[in-house]
A and B are shown apart, each in its own frame.
Chain A
């Protein structure tokens, strides 16, 4: 069973590496959106430090939204999603593998480019660690929530905007807790409690979301 998980992950990774621009474009978009804010608002380091957590997290949300379409759309169109559904393994298990692979391709790169953003927005080291930790815990939750939205809308012709309408309100708690944690770090306070809350949300979504995703896929593919 674990083998099946690995196989799905490796298939996803292989497919993605054959079309590298699909991975790079959302990251690209993420960096550009973050870059727009200093240009639009002003470049004083104090101001940037104040708004950095919000900018980074909003940009991460938007970048995630752009990348979600890929999660099930191609598989849905070419029919391999149906093949996955009739495989002997539980659908919830298979979709967890797909979401994990999706996080490796979209969440992880965001973590990797985050030092660059730390420099752009003149974050100090403590604040940057907080940013890194919230991204590490928060982006998998985003992937799981987004997967529910994609699974619900994958069969629709114009699912894109609907996906954002469904998903953005649900992701507000992640945004709030993450930016609160980064702000607390910026003021030199402890933010472990907020990280623990984010962690609890991660555990809950890892537990429940695969079933919701599986149920939604069964609605979409029928």
Chain B
């Protein structure tokens, strides 16, 4: 059943697949980004209470969601890497980590920028802010651990183990801080309940979430390709790739 996936255990094949998918991701995320941003920032109605400053939600919520999504995909990749010993999955883990960390930072930063006028403080020790901050620290820990090893194969495996330990811990951390303190508003969109948001505001948000997801995919693919090239730089197929690339560039110059 999974036989069609077997060729992609070979870095060369995976590299090519990522290269084929990449343009689609770029185009898709560019379109959704433009539509979502313009709709959200210019055409969506202003909030009756918060005025225009609610519009930061169109960056904040997608970034926070993708910060979590990036971690879940890392955890799945780490599981695959450790159970089936697939090295490319380790590369996925480490290719995703910095992207997830940056999205977490964006969520925190936009949250702080919104919190200043709304709550009157840049930072409050509220449950979601705190768990997002801890998520950022866990991301940074994984990246730091990966960078500390000089052997990148071992580094990938260590980072995968830490990712899995973190994924067991994250729900516990989340609920512990929820019970500890809560000021942040409840989740606005949920699958199971009617959204507590006007539909004209919700549509651009959904588009922005899709845009961020596609953007996350784009960055993951790009970093995945780079990481493969960096690790396999001595392999013949990479050398051939460089040669053909050089040859094409020479032709263009002529």
Contact = CB atoms under 8 A, between A and B. Distances in A.
A58 interface: no
B128 interface: no
Q: Which of A162, A172, A180 is most buried by chain B, counting CB atoms within 10 A of its CB? A: A172
7 contacts: A152-B158, A153-B145, A162-B145, A170-B138, A172-B176, A176-B180, A216-B158
Given A165-B141, A166-B145, A172-B176, 11 more contacts: A158-B148, A159-B148, A162-B141, A162-B145, A168-B137, A170-B138, A170-B169, A173-B172, A177-B176, A215-B82, A219-B158
A169 B137 contact: yes
A176 B182 CA distance: 14
A152 B161 contact: yes
Contact of B145 (A152, A170, A204): A152
B148 A219 contact: no
A162 B144 contact: yes
Nearest to A167: B141
Contacts of B148: 153, 156, 158-159, 162
A180 B179 CA distance: 10
Contact of A148 (B138, B165, B172, B179): B165
Contact of A170 (B140, B158, B166): B166
Contacts of B165: 148, 170, 212
A165 B161 CA distance: 15
A23 interface: no
What's the interface size class on B, roughly?
20 to 34
A222 interface: yes
A89 interface: no
A201 interface: yes
A125 to B, nearest CB: 26
B162 interface: yes
Nearest to A180: B180
Contacts of B162: 148, 152, 166
Contact of A173 (B140, B157, B158, B169): B169
Interface residues of A, number: 27
A206 B189 CA distance: 37
Contacts of B57: none
Interface in A157-187: 158-159, 162, 165-166, 168-170, 172-173, 176-177, 180
- Where chain A touches its partner, the secondary structure class is helix
Contacts of B177: 172, 176
A155 to B, nearest CB: 8
A172 B134 contact: yes
Contacts of A220: 154, 158
B189 to A, nearest CB: 27
B173 interface: yes
B85 to A, nearest CB: 12
Contacts of B158: 152, 216, 219-220
Interface in A65-89: none
A181 to B, nearest CB: 12
Given A166-B145, A212-B161, A173 B176 contact: yes
Interface in A137-160: 148, 152-153, 155-156, 158-159
Interface string A179-222: 01000000000000000000001001000100010011001101
A206 B137 CA distance: 24
A180 B137 CA distance: 23
Contacts of A156: 148-149
A-B interface, 9 closest residue pairs, ranked by CB to CB distance from nearest: A173-B176, A169-B137, A166-B141, A176-B176, A219-B157, A173-B172, A219-B158, A176-B180, A165-B141
Nearest to B171: A173
Contacts of A170: 138, 165-166, 169, 173
Given A152-B158, A173-B176, A212 B164 contact: yes
A156 B161 CA distance: 16
A173 B140 CA distance: 18
Contacts of B138: 169-170
Nearest to B147: A162
Contacts of B157: 219
Interface string B111-152: 000000000000000000000001001101100110011000
A208 B161 CA distance: 12
A126 to B, nearest CB: 21
Interface string B53-77: 0000000000000000000000000
